[in-house]
Every structure is written in C-alpha cells, then in structure tokens.
A and B are shown apart, each in its own frame.
Chain A
Amino acid sequence: MTGTLSVFRREFAGYFATPLAYIFIIVFLFVAGIFTFYVGSFFPRGQADLTPFFTYLPWLFLFLLPAIGMRLWAEERRAGTIELLLTLPISIAGAVIGKFLAAWAFAIVALALTFPLWITVARLGQPDHGVILASYVGAALMAGGYLAIAGCLSAVTRNQVIAFVVGVVICFLFTVAGSPLVLNFFTGWAPPSLVSIVAATSIITHFNAITLGVIDLRDVIYFVSLIAAWLAATVIVVDLKKAD
C-alpha cells in the first residue's frame, strides 16, 4: 500500500485547514444532542444509559457521513489534482486506503467528542460501561461502512452534490436492508436464501446487535467486509474514471 501514510496525513490535515471540520463537528454534536435529549426522551426515561443516542446515530450518520465522503474523489477530479496524485509513486489502492482512513479517523474524532454524554449518564446513575464502550466501537465500525460507501460513489462522479445524494440513497438501502421496506421487494419472487442474504447486509441489524453489549465476531466481520468490498470497488472505479 505505497503512499497510504502520506495520503492519510495530507487528507487528515486537510479537514482542519478549512472550516469544514469544525462546522461538521458542531452540527454533529448539536443534532446528536437534540436526538438524545428531546427526540430520544433522555430524562423522562429515567434510565442511566445511552440508548437514545445510539438508537438515532445510524440516521444521523446516514446524512452526515456522505457529506464527508462526497468530496474524497469528486474534488480531486474536479480540481484536476488526481493527475498530480496518481503520477506520484503511490498505488491507487494506497491512495484509496489513505483517504478512507483519514475520513474515518475524522469521523471517530467527531464521535469521541460526544464523551460528555457518557459522563452525564455516569454522574446521573450507574450505567453499564461495557455496553456503552461496545456501542461506541460499533458506532465507529458503522461510520467506516458509511464512509466506504460514500467514498466509492464520490469516485463515480466529479459532481459532489450527485455524490452526496446517491451516497445517502445507497447508505439508506444498506441501513434498512433488514426491514420489511426492502425485504418485501424481494419476497415473493426471490428464493428465501437470497432474501436472508439481503437481510444480512443490513447495517442497522449488525449495529443494534453490538449495542446490546456484545461485540460478536460475526458483526465485526460484517463491517470489515463491508468496508473492504467498497474500498476494492473504489480502487476499480478510480482507475476506470480517472481520465474522464
């Protein structure tokens, strides 16, 4: 993976070179707060846990992470810097992984900044810290999945708005793949094995399993495979579309 570290450092520093990172973090924390305390009825529930926060997190990520992922490759192609990048002695896979890891690290920073929520529940009662920690790990894995999808779609077009909208749609489909909304589309004509495969690709099912407090190897393998598959697709798309 020649060049991964160089690309990672450039990209990660790039988030903080513009107001983008700060705006994203502020919006994320603000909306996460609204979901947790108002929509999720944090106080009326009277329970010292972060269930309200983690319940709405996939829906928050669904819109916010494609906004981070949309610029990864679309911006390079629009500005023509992709020609500079890919004529350096770095491999396309190295560049794809470096960019993805930078976006992921940034998302994890934003996620980590929700720590006051954890402190709040710890002061109000006696939460199960193991469950909260597992949920954070699950949330980080889920963020990686969304970013891998959004990054791939950003390589398909040089238009960031299109990359964002298509990114949200595909992320949405992966989020709700286990719900009747998607499964009803397949049941009736598709063999049951296909239906269960579709159901198994649901991000929210695997994330919810982790938020119960058990990091099952199957869920981890799911997220790692999801990320790897979309990154592999990104390498192919970047190679095919770099000159367009």
Chain B
Amino acid sequence: MTAMIEIRDLVKRFDDFTAVAGISLQVAKGEVLGFLGPNGAGKSTTMKMVTGFLDPTSGSIAVGGKDITRDPLAAKRLIGYLPEGAPAYPDMTPASLFAFVGSARGLDRATLKQRIAAVVAETHIGSVLEQPIETLSKGYKRRVGLAQAILHDPPILVLDEPTDGLDPNQKHEVRELIRRMKKNKAIVISTHILEEVEAICDRAIIVARGRVVAEGRPEGKAGGWRFGNVLAEPGRLDQAFRNITLGAAA
C-alpha cells in the first residue's frame, strides 16, 4: 500500500492560537480514514491545509507524491474537496457550477459531459440541475458539493462532514457512494457522527486540541473498534470517544 496522503509534523498557528499542534498521518489508496474530534479540535484546519487552501506554519504535506506548498497546482489536481458547509456560488445552477469546476480542472467538453452525467446519477441531483443553488435544500446543496468534489474522478478525496444535513436515506446513499469509490481512492472524511465511522471507515483518528490523541481500527467480527487500550463494543463508539477526548482535555 502506498501512501496517497502523507502529513508530517503539521503545525498551524493563527497569531497566538495554535489550531494544529503537530499532526502526522498517512492515508493509503483503498482506505477511508475517519477524522474525528470535538469542535475546534483542528479537523477542518488540517483539511484546509491538505487541500492547499491554508499554508502550514510548519511541517509538510504530500498528496500523491506532490508537495502541496512547493507544487500546489499539481497537488490540487489530484484532490477532490468538499469544504466545511459545502459552499457554492448561490446564483449558479449545479449545471453551470460543474461546467466551471470542470473547465478549471481542465476537463475537455466530452469528458465533462460524461462525468457530469456520472456524478449526477451517483448523487441523485438530476431534478435540480437547472435550479439556482441558493434555492436548494440543505441536503441537495451538500450533494451538489459532493458531486463537484468527485467530478474529475480524483485519486484523493477530502470530505469535511459529507453527510451533515442529509436525511437518513440520503446519508445511507452517500455512505454507499463512498464505499463504492474507495477501491481506487484515498478518502479522508471528517465527521461528528460516530455511526458513520463504524459504517464506512477502515481506520479512525481522534484529534483534540490540535493533536492526534488516539488511532483506532475495527476489531473482531462483531464490529467493535479498538483505540489503543480502549475497546469500544459495537455501537458504543460514543463512549470511547468521550473517554478519549475528555481524558485528553483533562
């Protein structure tokens, strides 16, 4: 397994506030990494650095072997990104947004047409393709954001709370989609929803106050997770999460 995302000693300071205080991690192709942590733990800041939006204070990030600060354009081509809150131009329709994103990503007309058809089918947004994004419901907006992230079929996907605002059926569909895509991709998702980790992640990292405080994997056939010496029973990940994050804060 080759590491598609490789983060080393990543630090981000804003004035005198340290948002990320030395995170190192790797994500391999075929893997879905769950990025967990309380609000303000540094999850979104880390994702913003991995995708090249923010510059790290120190440390390095390589995606697909390209350094994000030294070769940002090459690195960004490999990444599909759903930012926190799924921002999109309110005046645009999903169709025109995809045309813009596709053109910025250098897709030719035929490929773009084919990819739009594919992502529209995968995210079930065909009925709103010509409506202004500002008129769409939260669930549709989120799926439009997800669709633009996978438009160029990137080898690396960074999804900040991809199922936030979706109803249970839509959540299920998005998880199925992530599971289908993971074979050929390295995927990082941040989430508050612990059942999501159990449902789709191969590995999970818990961050608190800018540091990795625990790393966990599924253990046993029943679907339990082990974080170091903490073993979470199936469906009881929330208990482990509380113990780990509150313990780290103390």
Instruction: Give A residues with C-beta under 8 Å from B.
Output: 2-3, 5-7, 9-10, 13-14, 17-18, 79-81, 83-84, 86-91, 242-243
Contacts and interface: CB of A to CB of B under 8 A. Distances in A.
A89 B77 contact: yes
B188 to A, nearest CB: 14
A126 B155 CA distance: 66
B170 interface: no
Nearest to A244: B14
Contacts of A80: 83, 85, 87
Contacts of A91: 73
A89 B74 CA distance: 7
Interface in B122-174: 148
A81 B86 CA distance: 9
A18 B132 CA distance: 11
Contact of B48 (A2, A14, A83): A83
A243 B53 contact: yes
A160 B105 CA distance: 29
Contacts of B100: 6, 9-10
Interface in B74-101: 74, 76-77, 79, 81, 83, 85, 87-92, 96, 100-101
Given A3-B104, A89-B73, A89-B76, A81 B88 contact: yes
Contact of B83 (A7, A9, A83, A90): A83
Interface residues of B, number: 29
B76 A79 contact: no
Of the candidates A83, A84, A86, A90, the one having the most CB atoms from chain B within 10 angstroms of its own CB is A84
Contacts of B51: 87
Contact of A88 (B74, B76, B91): B76
A87 B73 contact: no
A6 B99 CA distance: 9
B91 A17 contact: yes
Contacts of B88: 81, 84
Contacts of A3: 104
Contact of B92 (A2, A5, A17): A17
Contacts of A242: 53-54
28 contacts: A2-B73, A3-B104, A6-B104, A9-B100, A9-B103, A10-B92, A13-B96, A14-B89, A14-B91, A18-B91, A81-B87, A83-B53, A83-B83, A84-B87, A84-B88, A84-B148, A86-B53, A87-B51, A87-B76, A87-B81, A89-B72, A89-B73, A89-B74, A89-B77, A89-B105, A89-B106, A90-B104, A91-B73
| A interface majority secondary structure | helix
Given A2-B73, A88-B101, 5 more contacts: A3-B104, A14-B91, A87-B76, A88-B105, A90-B73
A17 B85 CA distance: 24
Contacts, number: 68
B104 A88 contact: yes
A243 B89 contact: no
A87 B53 contact: yes
Interface in B100-118: 100-101, 103-106
Contact of B89 (A9, A81, A86): A81
Contacts of B73: 2, 89-91
Nearest to B50: A87
B52 interface: yes
A87 B87 contact: no
A99 to B, nearest CB: 13
A101 to B, nearest CB: 15
B200 to A, nearest CB: 23
B52 A87 contact: yes
Q: Which 8 A-B pairs have the closest CB atoms?
A: A80-B87, A6-B103, A6-B104, A89-B76, A83-B83, A88-B104, A10-B100, A87-B51
A6 B52 CA distance: 19
A90 B54 CA distance: 15
B103 A87 contact: no
B89 A79 contact: yes
Nearest to B85: A80
B92 A14 contact: yes
A103 to B, nearest CB: 15
A80 B90 CA distance: 11
